[in-house]
Amino acid sequence: MDVCALIYNDPADLSCQAEILSRPACSYLVTLAKAFGCQKVYLAGQACSSLDVPALETDFSGEPSLFSQVEGAEQGLVFFESLPALTRGTLGKLMEQSCGLLTDENHHPMALYAPWDVLQRLSGRRITLVDELRALGPMLTEVSLSPEDGCAIQNGLDVYRCQELLRQRINRAHMEAGVIIVDPTTTHISPDALLESGSLIMPGCFIYGHSHIEATAKVGPNAMIVDSVIGCGASVNSSQVIESTIGAQTTVGPYAYIRPGCDVGEKVRIGDFVELKKAKIGTGTKIAHLSYLGDIELGERCNVGGGVIVVNYDGKKKYKTIVGDDSFIGCNVNLISPVHLGDDTYISAGSTITDDVPSEALAIARARQVNKEEWVRRRREKGLL
């Protein structure tokens, strides 16, 4: 049967701005409607930038009717309220009716499933909806929300209630599929995330967007993963990984920040207080602690000491640094981009590198040490210390 869905997304409603588990609240109804065969789905009111769903410009005045603005269908599914936790079972019951009205405990209309010619007799105004539906006569069959369906979003407490229902539902499904979630009460997983059986999620984790946690990977405790891939056997401890890929057997954290655009290879060590941005890190490389590497390609089996900074920004443009395989970068080194370090290079601690370094070379770029003997005593005698 040809079914068209229309979802109210009124900018005046809190639900229009609300996000639940990293997804817009209205997206849950869009996904549910499509799962029930709705070929055409529209938002009535404000568009949603993250959804490929057309929006209807309307001031909800009822002129012209919302239903006259879209291509008709045999049946229409209309959501008057945002119901992100609505279950498939309840929607199925509604769509079993020839003309069904979904209501809450106070008999307030939540959704309507009806033939298209019936919908065209309605203005689309929520303020007059009850009276218009009553005028249709005894054709309506009422279906009630269950406690598992949550509630319509009217305030922040409603957002929390729906989030809790969805979070528990998602976590339960993952655990039944073989994912180990140590503390489900503190674990938040997007419905778009893919977690493979055998992965381990420690307490206090947020796995958002279209993230992919591969088998035997360990996330947490206290980690945030957004639109990223965590490879088989990798570990992310008390760190954030945003729009990046972490290779198999790699360890990240604690307190690392992997910013968008990073491709971290296998068996890499990203230690505490390391920040990466648009960085490609080769297999077996170690970045132990306290470094910023942005806009860089770092080869395999490299060692990066503490306090290494890639100076990639001149105030107007950003530049790239390339480091070859098997290179050793000492502590407190500045790499002034753009610069190219060849394979098997050594950079002396405390150096500021502004020129390319050829393969197998040692680069030293720091002032020569000078010791001024008895300087302290002379200053004290003059009363200057």
Closest CA to 141 of 152, 131, 133, 129: 133
Contact indicator for 187, 203 with CB cutoff of 8 Å: yes
3-class SS of residue 25: helix
Q: Is 289 a catalytic residue?
A: yes
With a CB cutoff of 8 Å and minimum separation 6, the contacts of 127 are none
- Report how far apart, in Å, the C-alpha atoms of 142 and of each of 7, 119, 136, 206 are: 19, 16, 13, 38
Contacts of 115 (CB under 8 A, 6+ apart): 74, 75, 76, 98, 99
Catalytic residue among 107, 174, 289, 340: 289
Q: Which of 137, 163, 132 is nearest to 150 (CA)?
A: 163
Buried/exposed code over 59-93 (b: 16+ C-beta within 10 A; e: otherwise): ebebeeebbeebeebebbbbbbbbbbbbbeebbeb
Q: Which residues pair with 218 in a beta bridge?
A: 200, 235
Q: Give the residue numbers marked as catalytic.
A: 289
